[in-house]
Amino acid sequence: MSPTVLIIDDEVQIRRLLGVALTGAGYKVVDAENGVLGLQRVAGARPDIILLDMGLPDMSGLAVLAKLREWSRVPVVVLTVQSDEADKIAALDCGADDYVTKPFATGELLARIRAALRRVEPQPENAVFSQGGLEVDLISRVVRKDGVVVSLTPTEWGMLKLLIRHAGRIVTHKQILREVWGPGSEDHGSYLRVYFSHLRKKVERNPAAPSLILNEPGVGYRLNLEG
Q: Does one domain contain both 19 and 115?
A: yes
On whether both 108 and 136 belong to a single domain, the answer is: no
Q: Please indicate, yes or no, whether residues 98 and 192 belong to a single structural domain of this protein.
A: no
pLDDT of residue 179: 87
| E strands present in 89-223 | 98-102, 128-131, 134-137, 142-145, 148-150, 170-172, 213-216, 220-223
Question: What is the count of structural domains for the chain?
Answer: 2
Is residue 105 domain-shared with residue 136, that is, in the same domain? no
Q: How many Å apart are CA 60 and CA 67, to the nearest integer?
A: 11
73-113, pLDDT tens digit by residue? 899 999 988 667 788 888 888 889 999 988 888 998 999 89
Q: What is the pLDDT of residues 6-25, one digit of tens each?
A: 999 999 999 999 999 999 99
**Model pLDDT for residues 180-226, shown as the tens digit of each residue:** 988 777 777 778 989 999 999 999 999 999 999 999 888 999 998 87
pTM score of the predicted model: 0.70
Contact 103, 109 (CB under 8 A): no
Both 136 and 186 in one domain: the answer is yes
Domain co-membership, 115 together with 9: yes
**CATH code for the domain of 95:** 3.40.50.2300
Are both 148 and 42 inside the same structural domain?
no
Q: Do residues 62 and 103 both lie within one domain? A: yes
Residue 176's domain is classified under what CATH number? 1.10.10.10
What pLDDT was estimated at residue 82? 67
Best CA proximity match to 119, nearest among 58, 52, 168: 168
For residue 167, give its domain range: 128-223
